[in-house]
């Protein structure tokens, strides 16, 4: 996903295609799980890597896929 946004000066910025930040709801959909599962995993420290942007939690889609593969490989 190559999204474009503009800053206050009208300049266009593109995010790299491999950097897709997801909300917990979107991440849960990718993992076919629930938001509460992800919240509990964050508290336990055993879930997928996440980032805090201000007070918002975000996941990189690539990190979710790496975590899923690691879980599947055991």
Distance of CA 45 to the CA centre of its chain: 16
pLDDT tens-digit map of 25-74: 999 999 999 999 999 999 999 999 999 999 999 999 999 999 999 999 98
For the four alpha carbons of 43, 46, 48 and 53, in that order, the dihedral sign comes to: positive
pLDDT of 18 over the 90 cut: no
pLDDT of residue 41: 97
- Phi and psi, residue 69, nearest 5°: -65, -40
């Amino acid at each position: 996903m190559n999204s474009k946004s503009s800053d206050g000066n009208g300049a266009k910025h593109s995010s790299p295609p491999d950097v897709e930040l997801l909300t917990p709801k979107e991440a849960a959909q990718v993992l076919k799980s629930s938001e509460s599962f992800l919240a509990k995993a964050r508290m336990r420290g055993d879930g997928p890597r996440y980032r805090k942007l201000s007070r918002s939690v975000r996941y990189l889609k690539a990190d979710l896929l790496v975590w899923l593969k690691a879980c599947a490989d055991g």
